[in-house]
Amino acid sequence: MTGTGTDIGFIGLGNMGGPMAANLIKAGHRVTGFDLSATSLDAFKSAGGCPAASVQEAVKGAKAVVTMLPAGKHLRAVYLGEDGVLSALTEPTLLVDCSTVDVESARAVAAAAAERNHAMIDAPVSGGVGGAEAGALTFMVGGEEEALDCARPLLEAMGKTIVHAGGAGNGQAAKICNNMVLGISMIAVSEAFTLAEKLGLSHQALFDISSKASGQCWSLTTYCPVPGPVPTSPANRDYQPGFTAAMMLKDLKLAQEASAGVGATTPLGAEAGQVYQLFCNAGNEEVDFSGVIKMLRGENG
Ligand code: NAD
């Protein structure tokens, strides 16, 4: 899969897929892409990609297909639909889905691909648009080891960290479990700062103590929801994302769907979903998810 001339069909050239495809092109791959949005296709063309008129045209003859789509229903339509990826491929092809989708859809599409002798991995990412642009994404991979080995050169062109999480769908499982921790912990840290404010404890004092004590976590030390203690956190730029509240809500909903499907007990995950639903309903979908502290303070929502 390495070197110039590798044919990749790339479907879904949005905020994430656009820069990811651009990095594959920079690494010397020949990439043919398709997106429903003409604007995304134009940007892809400017980055050196070859725009196609349909999913089928983009993947025909490709050695590998990469997808970066909004949700499970788009994934199923793009792979399993009448004019979809699986019906267009005539040779065994490596399939790499980087979208964040429900575990069930990921496993259903991987099973359909396996029936037709295609190796498939689910490889959702963390790192956001900045990570996609910098080629610094983290991939959480579900699928066979051999398929991951084939995909590795492609993933390395788009990211820095690759973790194999197990069989098909386990990349998605890892992603939603991690983001459930993140959603809950951001609310926990935000509640602590809100309480501290009312008790007359300064942001810096709470940060200095908790970051060295048992309250220490990523939401506090890397992504602190109040301005000051961590200068790079979105709180210092009026909560511009970053990672939007809408994305967090999506992942918390996926976690709850998965929980319901397997009978797991995740009450705080459910509660975090409710909190982000309220925050989004108040018009904050595009605000960084750490902005939830404003709602907890009663500033909006
Ligand atoms: P986006 O909406 O910008 O891009 C998705 C693209 O898919 C759109 O351009 C859309 O036109 C295209 N699309 C949808 N259906 C299609 C079809 N049938 N054929 C061709 N194109 C189609 O979304 P994004 O921010 O790039 O996110 C993509 C995925 O990555 C999502 O699953 C998201 O949860 C995940 N993700 C996003 C971020 C982030 O910070 N944006 C971070 C991690 C993971």
DSSP string, 74-123: HHHHHHHSTTSHHHH--S--EEEE-S---HHHHHHHHHHHHHTT-EEEE-
- Pairwise CA distance, residues 81 & 74, whole Å: 10
- The last residue of one of the domains, among 150, 167, 184, is 167
Per-residue pLDDT at 62: 97
Question: Beta 125-126 vs 7-11: how paired, if at all?
Answer: unpaired
- Distance, CA 246 to ligand 1 centroid (Å)? 13
pLDDT for position 129: 87
Residues 183 and 150 in one domain: no
**Could you tell me which residues come within 8 angstroms of residue 300 by beta carbon, excluding any fewer than 6 positions away?**
282, 283, 284, 294
Q: Are residues 161 and 73 in the same domain?
A: yes
290/191 same-domain check: yes
Distance (angstroms) between ligand 1 centre and the Cα of 22 equals: 15
Ligand 1 close to Cβ of residue 179 (< 6 A): no
- pTM equals 0.94
Question: Are 195 and 161 in a shared domain?
Answer: no
Q: Which pLDDT tens digit goes with each residue over 231-242?
A: 999 999 999 988
Q: Is residue 2 part of a domain?
A: no
Is the backbone of residue 162 left (phi > 0), alpha (psi -120 to 50) or beta?
beta
Any idea what the CATH number is for the domain that residue 29 is in? 3.40.50.720
Does a structural domain hold residue 185?
yes
Q: Supply the range of the domain harboring residue 198.
A: 173-296
Question: 293 CA to middle of ligand 1, Å?
Answer: 27
Same domain, 18 and 121: yes
- Closest CA to ligand 1's atom 39: 128
11 lines ligand 1 (CB under 6 A): yes
Residues 107 and 222 in one domain: no
- Residue 22 CA to residue 12 CA, distance in Å, equals 12
Residues 181 and 159 in one domain: no
Q: Tell how far the Cα of 99 is from the centroid of ligand 1, in angstroms.
A: 7
Q: Please give the pLDDT value at position 195.
A: 98
Label residue 173 by pLDDT band (50, 70, 90).
very high
Specify the DSSP class assigned to residue 284. Answer: I
pLDDT at 284 over 70: yes
**80 Cβ inside 6 Å of ligand 1:** no
Same-domain status, 158 and 224: no
| Contact partners, residue 139, CB within 8 Å, separation at least 6 | 98, 123, 124, 125, 155, 158, 159, 161, 162, 163, 171
The pick from 34, 69, 125 for probing ligand 1's pocket by mutation, whose C-beta has the most ligand atoms within 8 angstroms, reads 69
Give the model's pLDDT for residue 91. 96
Note whether 56 and 74 are same-domain residues.
yes
Domains held by the chain: number: 2
